[in-house]
Structure 1
Amino acid sequence: MEHMNFKPGWKIFLILLSGIFLSLDIQAQRIKVHGNVKDSYGEPVVGANVIVKGTTSGTVTDIDGNYQIEAPKDSTLIFSFVGYISQSIPIKNRTEISVILEEDVITLGEVVAIGYGTVKKSDATGAVTQIKPDEINKGMATSAQDLLV
């Protein structure tokens, strides 16, 4: 076979053309996914996070709980919001995914409120006491500390 000689302009054209085909192939593997995020009462979850698992690509839901995101068709979306249990849902080439987030309920008997946060009762160290409202002296108290005394 003879060696093919291309003029310099043709080489640049072929390089650009191959780059276009490669970028089209990459874009074809991504799809736009949209849907709605609601709570267990059917109310929209405003500001819920929708993230493509393993990336920093994400979005948040609008005032009606709607979202739209572009992601690889074989990736997984993670839906999360404070006070709700996060859900991971594989896209599986779908363009619409709607989610109902369940509340993450913590039993109050298992949690101790401390000055800088909350911990499980079993993890608390130090002195912990419980004061019931009927045990508080109804005398003059000017601060929370006075009520504890």
Structure 2
Amino acid sequence: MESSMHHTADALSPRDSLRPTLPGQVKLDRIPGTIIIGNIATIAADKRRRSQYTQDVVSRLNAQDPKLNYVICHVKHSTAFDGEKGKDWGHSHQEFDIKLGGTIGYEIYWAKSGTFTILGDGGYINWAYFGNVKTKSADGKVIVFGPR
């Protein structure tokens, strides 16, 4: 069923209005709400993929080098990692392709120790971390990492 919804949403293009229809026929791809249903399914699938992506990134990074702590984050945040950037901690940016709307940018950090604070919404869709968590705030938004 989901594939037919995707097909309906994907079937719309400017040339669709040029397609002839017989009197009394209903062009199913023009029924109000059809696009919305297709888009809702696409957005839901993107959210599931984003949630899996954040968890996969930190897990894979940890598998490559378990001596560091890792965070991936899409929303507003602040960092206070210990030491010198490039030596004791680092950062990169990665775009994640979504089906509806282009890409979503994620910041990826690795650090020996220090503090990461998420200032926006939580949930795996927006962030994930892996490492030696020394303390975590009651709301779960401030993570203090210790050496591993």
Greater RCO, CA 8 A, separation 6+: 2
TM class, shorter-length? under 0.3
Larger radius of gyration: 1
**TM-score, normalised on structure 1?**
0.26
